[in-house]
Structure 1
Amino acid sequence: MPPATPAPPATPAGVREPGGRLAGALRDYLVHLRVERGLSENTLGAYRRDLHRYLRFLAGRGVDDPGAVDGAAVSAFVVALRSGADGGAPLTASSAARTASAVRGWHRFLHAEGRSGADPASLVRPPPPPRRLPAALTVQEVARLLEVAGAGGSPVALRDRALLEVLYGTGARIGEVVALDAGDVSGPALEDGGAVRLGGGGARARVVP
């Protein structure tokens, strides 16, 4: 007797199961995740919710065949995740990236299984994470850092303290300070001896105190 085919993970009560060929492909993918990859029921539930939303989006575009999904549809869904244009709740960048990752994994599976001639999600980039400002050091922390860097008074210690002083005092980028020449901190090009030229001699150069 051949082994029984594993049943797909149960759909929670109150959650409507999408229909059609895409839904069948999704059920097979969830079985794959549970049996082959050993994902927990909680993780499977997250995949199910994310991909059900994707199938509803595709249904709204009249798509019900894995081979009919193109990159434009995947990209439009990723945009809709952030805006809520698909009728779902707008997601944060991190939640949208998680859903986009689920979509990419599903399409990789469909392509590997021969259910689609190409992977339409392979070139779709997830939403970029939000950019956060770096945490600033306190004045006391900076003073301590400079003190430690210059401890001992050796040439190397004095060099390290000088580099940190320039970084802190000018707001320069590390690459700009590393690229400094002697003429950038002294010489006829700078009338004010308390200034430094950052960025070299090109159009993007700037002089700061």
Structure 2
Amino acid sequence: MSPRWMLFTEQARCYTRRMDQFIERFVIYLKGERGASPHTISAYAADLAAYAEFLEDRGCAWDAVDRVALRAYLSALQASGLSRRTCARKVSTLRSFYKVMFRDKYIARDPMLGIRSPKPEYHLPSFLSPVQAETLAGAQVGDEPQELRDRALVEVLYATGLRVSELVSLDVGQVDLGSREAVVRGKGGKTRVVIVGEAALHSVRIYQERGRPRLAHRSGEPALFLNRFGGRLSDRSARSVVNAWRKRAGLPEGVSPHTLRHSFATHLLDGGADLRVVQELLGHQSLNSTQIYTHVTQIESRKAYQMAHPRARSMSEAGEALKTDAL
């Protein structure tokens, strides 16, 4: 063993080997190096706390765990009734945690090497039709500041495909009404520029002129979307706004900010937008995340074809159609 490795090993032994101390170090890594969102950090910390409790109940040390213990943990996750997607995320959390612990010399080996993640099931995203999206965005509102804010919020969500966390983190200075662009800080602290449509720009302009000044009770608050106390609007409040507008527009339950994000991507692809462009606008790191929307458009295209083309229908349906035409 090299002197350098012996030094790191000896330093590691000086720490109490309780896992919670190393979870804190991992959280520092997520904040500092990954630029992870508070939501991501909270999810990772909860995953690791549950894992630590599992090991403690079985008398296993987190820094000396073997494949048998890890496979037992995976089996326990699957037996708990969690979805495969949730199980895969929890395994991904462990993979990231042990990778950082190995990198920083807190453990001599990475026990996650060779451990496969369960394949998550993929559900096609729900989205609004263009008519439904227009109905939602075009709902009539008054001139109250919160109503003007809510219209701008819904319009921006549909026009840009932003995640709700990205939307509420927008500051006034990040939206350029002249260039019709917004600078967004997305997952992992990565910055991207999104295009804002004319309808959304108009709503934002009206909100900034007539609504926001009446909500800005706190001097110096940079947030674009303010709550009634003058502070930054929360994720939860933004979801409530979309749900209220959904009811006003008479749309079915289940419409959320993410539904508008799905609708944004689907409608762009339906309109002929390049997949890579949509990937960039959505802030997807992997093209695979964007390609799921092509499956959606393919399914809708197939439905339209089968409904519209006479030779796509069954022989009995085609015969009935001919009889009807002959009358």
Q: What is the TM-score of this pair, normalised by structure 1? A: 0.51
Give the helix-richer structure, 1 or 2: 2
Are residues 1:121 and 2:112 paired? yes
Indicate the residue corresponding to 1:172 in structure 2.
Answer: none
Identity %: 28
In the alignment, structure 2 segments of 5+ residues that lack a partner are: 1-15, 125-294, 313-327
Cα offset, 1:46, TM superposition: 0.5
Shift of 1:21: 2.1
SS at match of 1:55: helix
Q: 2:21 aligns with which of 9, 19, 24?
A: 24
**Residue equivalent to 1:80:** 76
C-alpha separation between the residues in 1 aligned to 2:74 and 2:310? 46
1:163-207 CA-partner distances (Å, limit 9, x unpaired): xx9xxxxxxxxxxxxxxxxxxxxxxxxxxxxxxxxxxxxxxxxxx
RMSD: 3.1
Deviation of 1:31 after TM superposition, in Å, equals 1.1
Residue 67 of structure 2 corresponds to residue 71 of structure 1: yes
Query: Residue 109 of structure 1 corresponds to which residue in structure 2?
Result: 100
Retained in 1: the 8 A contact 2:55–2:62? no
SS of 1:126's partner is coil
**Distance verdict in 2 for CA 1:141–1:57, change over 3 Å:** same
CA distance in 1, matches of 2:115, 2:90: 13
Give the structure, 1 or 2, with the largest relative contact order (CA under 8 Å, sep 6 or more). Answer: 2
Q: Which amino acid aligns with 1:71?
A: R
Q: Against the structure 1 CA distance between its residues 73 and 146, is the aligned structure 2 distance closer, same or farther, given a 3 Å change threshold?
A: farther
Query: Once the 2 structures are TM-superposed, how far is the Cα of residue 105 of structure 1 from its aligned partner?
Result: 0.4
Stretches of structure 1 lacking an aligned partner (at least 5 in a row): 1-18, 85-89, 148-164, 166-209
Look up the SS of the partner of 2:44 in the other structure: helix
- Pair 62,146 (structure 1): closer, same or farther in 2 beyond 3 Å: farther
Greater radius of gyration (CA): 1
- 1:36 partner SS: helix
TM-score calculated relative to the size of structure 2:
0.34
Cα separation, 1, equivalents of 2:123 and 2:49: 31
State the Cα deviation string for residues 128-176 of structure 1 (Å, max 9, x = none): 22377985945x72597898xxxxxxxxxxxxxxxxx9xxxxxxxxxxx
User: Does structure 1 conserve the Cα–Cα contact (< 8 Å) formed by 2:102 and 2:108?
Assistant: yes
Task: Map 1:30-45 onto structure 2 (within 5 A).
Answer: 30-45=27-42
